[in-house]
Copies of this chain bind each other. A is one copy, B any other.
Amino acid sequence: MNDIFYDILNRVKEKGYKLTPQRKAVVLAILNHDHMHLNTEEIYALVKEEYPKIGLATVYRTLIVLDELDVITKMNFDDGCIRYEINSETHQHHHLICRNCGKVIEVMEDLLDDIEAMVEEKYQFKIIDHNLKIYGLCKHCLDNQ
């Protein structure tokens, strides 16, 4: 965890951005709540606990920087705001979204090799990233209906 933290701070510095306590606090908040798909307001609230002076716009701006540096990825779960998650190279994952309760489940298996090979060959498209959302009903909602 600490390794990831300092690696991110280094990346910020290397790209010419300054290491301010506000940026550190935002990175920490996201790291400490991984897999929670926080939106900007939620990150703002968390950072405010430790750093009450921070402004909402600063959080927005920091997230733009972190997205640019590939530290985080924007996620859209169609709930009217952008949510973020840490980019860990090792776990390319997908999301199951329950149409009933809205819960988001992460699927760690990739299984997109076939389709990616086909796309690169047939469409001559150089793939950088992908985003798969699967909508349906989660186990809990299936059992309780």
Taking Cβ atoms with an 8 Å cutoff, the residues of A that contact B are 74, 76, 78, 94, 96, 98-99, 105, 107, 109, 111-112, 114-116, 118-119, 123-139, 142
Interface pair A94/B107, CB less than 8 Å apart: no
Instruction: Kindly state the separation between the CA atoms of A119 and B107 in the bound complex, as whole angstroms.
Output: 8
Contacts of A114 in B (CB 8 A): 111, 114
Contacts of A129 in B (CB 8 A): 134-136
Question: Which residue of the partner chain B has the closest CB to A112?
Answer: B115
Interface pair B133/A131, CB less than 8 Å apart: yes
**What are 5 A-B pairs at a CB distance below 8 A?**
A76-B76, A105-B123, A107-B115, A123-B138, A131-B134
